[in-house]
Chain A
Amino acid sequence: AQSVAQPEDQVNVAEGNPLTVKCTYSVSGNPYLFWYVQYPNRGLQFLLKYITGDNLVKGSYGFEAEFNKSQTSFHLKKPSALVSDSALYFCAVRDEIAGTALIFGKGTTLSVSS
């Protein structure tokens, strides 16, 4: 069965420092991987995706993620955090065999302090 794990409930970083939000996954076939961000009382906004190709994916707002097949990970990164990046981040996976539904992790709250 497909699954996504976000091992950290919360990540705290200082503004200007690099940030990493961790995600690992489990699928039967080739993974399609996604990151979404959610602000309070709002829907989810798409940040980036990995389908195939270059393992380093660049997305919106300066975020990037690195696909690592051997470690089944897809960590979200940003070189320099902003206070406005503070939000809830979700990793999601779709298995090309199991269907087109996205399976989400439980989310990681990112808090960037000034």
Chain B
Amino acid sequence: DAGVTQSPTHLIKTRGQQVTLRCSPKSGHDTVSWYQQALGQGPQFIFQYYEEEERQRGNFPDRFSGHQFPNYSSELNVNALLLGDSALYLCASSPTLAGGELFFGEGSRLTVL
């Protein structure tokens, strides 16, 4: 049973560019959340998707957007990249919107130059 898978694992972008990160949830999970983990910090909640809709959002600007597909997979898009967007982006899935523990992927390491 595959866990949460994310792609790409590493990527480098320059300021002003746009990036798309992808996530496939654990089998049987329908809720996907995205977190940003800056170096030396704990993960910060970006947003959560359920039934293809954004259900909850953290304190992130509109440059951060997402999407969930009918197969429950999800994308995180970041526009107009800033140096401060450099971080590990973690995708997590859970079996229901009600919560419980999250299952995390290995993350996508984004470096903005």
Q: Which residues of A contact B (CB under 8 A)?
A: 4, 32, 34, 36, 41-46, 49, 51, 90, 94, 99-107
Asked if B104 lies at the interface with its beta carbon under 8 angstroms from chain A, I say yes
Q: Are A104 and B48 in contact (CB under 8 A)?
A: no
> Which of B41, B56, B103 is A101 in contact with, Cβ under 8 Å?
B56
Q: Is the CB of A46 within 8 A of B107?
A: no
B85-110 toward A: CB 8 Å interface, digit per residue (1/0)? 00000101010011111111111010
Considering the complex, which residues of chain B in the window 8-58 have a beta carbon less than 8 Å from any beta carbon of chain A?
Answer: 31, 33, 35, 40-45, 48, 55-56, 58
A-B contact pairs, 13 of them (CB 8 A): A4-B42, A34-B101, A36-B104, A42-B107, A45-B104, A90-B43, A99-B56, A100-B31, A101-B45, A101-B56, A104-B42, A104-B43, A104-B44
Taking a contact as CB atoms under 8 Å apart, the answer to whether B104 and A43 are in contact is yes
A-chain residues with CB within 8 Å of residue B105 when the two chains form the complex: 43
Q: For the complex, what is the distance from the CA of A4 to the CA of B43, rounded to whole Å?
A: 12
Summed over the interface, the residue pairs from A and B with CB atoms below 8 Å come to a total of 58
Cβ–Cβ contact B42 & A94, under 8 A: no
Count the B residues whose beta carbon is within 8 Å of the partner chain — how many? 29
Q: Check B102 against A43 for contact (C-beta < 8 Å).
A: no
Chain B residues positioned under 8 Å from A100 (CB to CB): 31, 48, 55-56, 94, 97-99
B107/A43 in contact, CB under 8 A: yes
Among candidates B97, B102, B106, B107, residue contacting A102 with C-beta atoms closer than 8 Å: B102
In contact, B90 and A32 (Cβ under 8 angstroms): no
- A20 and B44 alpha carbons, distance in the complex (Å): 24
Task: Report whether A46 and B102 are in contact in the complex, using a CB–CB cutoff of 8 Å.
Answer: yes
The reply to whether A101 and B97 contact each other, CB–CB distance below 8 Å, is no
- 18 other A-B residue contacts (CB within 8 Å) besides A46-B101, A102-B102: A32-B99, A41-B109, A43-B90, A43-B105, A43-B107, A44-B92, A44-B104, A45-B104, A46-B103, A49-B101, A51-B100, A100-B56, A100-B98, A100-B99, A102-B43, A104-B43, A106-B40, A107-B42
